[in-house]
Structure 1
């Protein structure tokens, strides 16, 4: 439950009001209101904890965006439960254990489909180690083109901002800065009357995109903070499937 405590910088810190007859302590036992008289929104009335640093992108996976053709209900990067087909991705060259796109070799740990396989970007801080000229991404947006501000943190204590933009997985053409990483002639969706009710296959073509942002080649990267884009997992946002220094 400690993972639900507010982090420093959260807009919910000090933004609440005391609820009538709610008691004098929060879920974690902290006094409400605090000594400074402030009250947070939610069940945590602390002063904020340091944001979690994930050990890898895989550790931060929080969404299922790839499904097996035999189980199309397992995924969902949209409210309607649409997902990339694992088999179609494999046919396009994106498969375990690595995928080469634009000269960059990406770790691709998604060996089994129907499990968390991407990060819906929401400000997660990911530990990354290495030096290079660019930070490359494989991903896609939902509900149109999406962009957000991220941060590269270096081992010398400095940092630099970047903008991560992805076109929609449904889009037929790449937005500026994106290139097509994989084309798939179909995708999966829970079976309905609007697609193949027997298999869940939807004949609409979809795409996985690649993009990159510049790094300072003279410095070593310590971590990357992803943009905070959109809301809950199935709503508009950016889905990052892989990230590599090149």
Structure 2
């Protein structure tokens, strides 16, 4: 065993990564710039810097010996896939030798947020379970869920067309209980491509852990934008304003005979073609005790 060398005790040296342009489109070239700085008191030998996009496309650059206080910058031009969408991480990972018998590493991640190509591709949560498999879904961070059987009794079967307030929605075409299936999006400011013209952009969904409140935005094909906000009641209980009231919900221990509600909400539109919608920023994802807005369907009517 090598003797302890206190001069080699240090905080991990930093690496950073940036990208240009700031808002690229799928299929467009981007330039990644990574900077590695040796903030320690010793030379870092055999240093290699790895750059990657979404954990797949990658490049390695040998930096060799990096002296104390020195910074090294590397750039890499790559092309986003034509079908890129949603969250695309750029990662810089540096590996280096501290001494002859030991190495260390450091990494940094920069996240690019591209538009989702469709509402269904934005789905990131499973909120519906079968009554005989209640632990396969979690709509509130506490492993509660909507019952597929209760939804079916209200006409909400996979892929079904339903109408509320004169507006037709298509219920998610996903089979409850299927591993990895997603049936709703937790509204967190994602951008979703949505074309069409009409008088209203309407959503079908519900909120958990309190009312789902937050700002959203409509983006028209000519580049103009329209802000809007939502205030969707909590799902628990039979609400007079609900589009659908289910007689019970599922929990990890089984059926809970308290009603839960689904709601329609939305924004009146201008008379022009839509390009996309920025979903209301209600939360940063699903967390127990934090209000979250779940969107199961959206349509232009």
Give TM-score scaled by structure 2 length: 0.63
Match of 1:242 in 2: 297
Secondary structure at the aligned position of 1:180 is classed as: coil
CA RMSD of aligned residues (A): 2.4
CA distance in 2, matches of 1:134, 1:43: 45
Return closer, same or farther for 1:154/1:99 CA change in 2, 3 Å cut-off: same
Match of 1:107 in 2: 170
CA distance in 2, matches of 1:58, 1:238: 16
Return closer, same or farther for 1:45/1:54 CA change in 2, 3 Å cut-off: closer
CA distance in 1, matches of 2:226, 2:155: 33
Question: Does the CA-based 8 Å contact 2:172-2:296 persist in structure 1?
Answer: no
2:107 counterpart of 1:117: no
Query: What is the 5 A alignment of 1:39-50?
Result: 44=108, 49=112
Question: Does the CA-based 8 Å contact 2:131-2:255 persist in structure 1?
Answer: yes
Query: What is the 5 A alignment of 1:1-246?
Result: 21-26=11-16, 30-32=34-36, 44=108, 49=112, 51-97=113-159, 98-114=161-177, 115-174=181-240, 179-191=241-253, 200-216=254-270, 218-235=271-288, 236-246=291-301
Q: How far 1:55 moved relative to its partner? A: 0.8
Question: Does the CA-based 8 Å contact 1:30-1:45 persist in structure 2?
Answer: no
CA distance in 1, matches of 2:213, 2:259: 23
Higher strand share: 2
Give TM-score scaled by structure 1 length: 0.76
**Larger RCO, structures 1/2 (Cα 8 Å, 6+ apart):** 1
Q: How far 1:230 moved relative to its partner? A: 2.0
Q: How far 1:109 moved relative to its partner? A: 2.5
Greater Cα shift, 103-112 or 149-158: 103-112
**What are structure 2's unaligned runs of at least 5 residues?**
1-9, 18-31, 38-70, 73-105
Aligned residues: 206
CA distance in 1, matches of 2:108, 2:14: 12
Q: How far 1:32 moved relative to its partner? A: 4.8
Q: Hey, which bits of structure 1, 4+ residues long, moved more than 4 A?
A: 26-29, 32-35
What's the CA shift string for 1:95-124, capped at 9, x where partnerless? Answer: 232222222111222340132100001111
